[in-house]
Chain A
Amino acid sequence: MSSAATSGLPAPAGSGPLRTILHCDLNNFYASVECLYRPELRDRPVAVCGQKEKRHGIVLAKNMPAKRCGIRTGEAVWQARAKCPDLVTVPPDFPRYLEFSRMVREIYAEYTDRIEPYGIDECWLDLSDRADLRRNAPAFADRLRERVREELGVTLSIGVSWNKVFAKLGSDMKKPDATTVIRPEDFRETVWPLPVDELLFVGRSTGARLRNIGVGTIGRLARLQPDFIRGFLGKWGEYLWMFANGFDASPVERAGAEVPVKGVGNSMTTPRDVVGEEDARMVFRILSESVAERLRRHGFRGRTVQVWLRDVRLASFERQRKLPRCTCLSGEILAAALALYRENWDPALPLRSVGVRVTDLVPADTPVQLDLFDVEVGREREERLERTLDSIRSRFGPDAVQRALLLSDRAFHAHPAEEHVIFPGSRCGAS
């Protein structure tokens, strides 16, 4: 294999001071919190499931007995019940999960301010500055697990390593309530035999592409020529190669560090299938208004509109387009979203979930290049109108002013901007 130095990649781990990074993963988080408050359910198979009436009827989390029955996160409730007729299903209580997540992070914060959340139930902790703790990091990880278990009643799996990727991999290796250590001297024996999809950021499609060329394990990926993987998967392939070799040097962000907002989006699983352009227009209208309102509320405009569509067979895809001007106007977002829909979707095919997102954000007060033909005057007027509607809705409620279009089918009545709390599986609540 060509050396890292000659390929322009960072020096291998071990050549500089090694960091001590923990990845803490709350086991079966939602289900554990539910069972904590209902001890009578503890030994029964339990799944936290979305509301069937809203067509969110999938398994969001399950406890260990349910896992043993073969129930998987993301499958439909009826599929889960077919595997386990005694399954107890409970609705999610997101405010309570957020509260638990906050309390767990408060415990972490007693040891370090380098805490980087990864979703609601996972965090990286960097103990490199804590000489006292890093001296015996696995023992500290055990004490931390014990403390969280005793004080909050939920269990953690902790991975201890010198980089974030291996720490994350470690926390997935032994569950529940366990510590796994991956050291520079033994990662070739522990990490390399694992399936390549277990590496962070290797998704289903990348995993399939790698397996197609005979790269089935992390070790096979690590031993590829960096030039080859760069040619095969592009820049991203090079990152994966580095991760597989333990060269990940990405820092653990400090607690409370500002995460730059990259996009504002909303999605909804519709109460009935969306068939035809008229239906689609209604859903896109709801989502575009919500996204535009949130852009204005947070002081942004965006240049790229993305749509995300999922059909009734749960196959999904995403398309995006650039706008001529940065916008926070619902009409312009809607027009772009509808154009993407028309170009990429057969309206006869029913849709189940739809999302709209605006990215390439700039601050709302960024100077605008004026148009010779005075388009900007009309846009300013439109924005004043939309801001007036925002203020009416904030004073008198979201139903105070509505589009007549939305009265034609009350089933689609929704306020995604208000309901935007947290979506399971979304990695950073504020997308």
Chain B
Amino acid sequence: MRKVYLTLRCEFDPEGVVRPVEFLWEDGRRFPVDRVLDVRRAVSLKTGGRGIRYTVRVLDREVCLYRDGDRWYLEAP
């Protein structure tokens, strides 16, 4: 597994809560985030490190996006 850092568009609500909206994959495709299912602090055991884990639905698949400070990444094979 490897860490893929993403260009990500997100939305801040008036309370300051961040919601990822769309991210750009390394091959240039854009993926909209349909729904945020869960947000919690978590470890990314496969690639190492920790951050705030956003479990989101993208094209009917569950994906975990990690926010590490100001950077976002995905665990990819």
Q: Which residues of A approach B to under 8 Å, CB–CB?
A: 36-39, 103, 149-153
Please provide the 7 A-B residue pairs with the shortest distance between their CB atoms, ordered closest to farther. A153-B43, A151-B41, A39-B48, A37-B48, A153-B50, A37-B49, A38-B48
The answer, yes or no, to whether B61 is at the interface (CB within 8 Å) is: no
Chain A contacts for B46, CB-based, 8 A? 39
CA distance A149 to B47 in the complex (A): 16
Q: Is B59 an interface residue (CB 8 A)?
A: no
22 contacts between A and B (CB under 8 A): A36-B50, A37-B48, A37-B49, A38-B48, A39-B45, A39-B47, A39-B48, A103-B41, A149-B43, A150-B42, A150-B43, A151-B40, A151-B41, A151-B42, A151-B43, A151-B50, A152-B41, A152-B43, A152-B50, A153-B43, A153-B45, A153-B50
Q: Report the separation of the CA atoms of residues A152 and B49 in the bound assembly, to the nearest whole angstrom.
A: 9
The complex places the Cα of A330 from the Cα of B37 at a distance, in Å, of: 61
Q: Residues of B contacting A39 with CB < 8 Å? A: 45-48
A38 to B47, CA, bound (A): 8
Closest to B53 in A: A151
| 8 further contact pairs, Cβ within 8 A, besides A36-B48, A36-B50, A103-B41 | A36-B43, A36-B49, A38-B48, A150-B42, A150-B43, A151-B42, A153-B43, A153-B50
Q: Mark B27-56, 1 if CB is under 8 A from A, else 0.
A: 000000000000011110111111000000
Give bound CA distance, A149 to B49, whole Å: 13
Residue of B nearest to A37 (CB): B48
Which of A38, A149, A151 counts the most chain B CB atoms within 10 A? Answer: A151
A39 to B49, CA, bound (A): 9
Could you say which residues of chain A place their CB within 8 Å of the CB of B50?
A: 36, 151-153
Residues of B within 8 A of A149 (CB): 43
Q: Which residues of B contact A152 (CB under 8 A)?
A: 41, 43, 50
How far does the alpha carbon of A152 sit from the alpha carbon of B53 in the complex, in Å? 11
Distance (whole angstroms) from the CB of B18 to the closest CB of chain A:
18
When C-beta atoms are compared, the residue in chain B nearest to A151 turns out to be: B41
Please name the residue on chain A nearest to B43 by beta carbon: A153
Interface centre among B40, B42, B46, B50 (most CB of A within 10 A): B50
Q: How far is the CB of B67 from chain A (nearest CB, A)?
A: 13
Q: Closest Cβ of chain B: how far from A46's Cβ, in Å?
A: 13
Bound: A38/B45 CA distance, A? 10
Separation of A103 and B48 alpha carbons in the complex (Å): 17
Q: Closest B-chain residue to A103, C-beta based?
A: B41
| Nearest CB on B from A151, distance (A) | 4
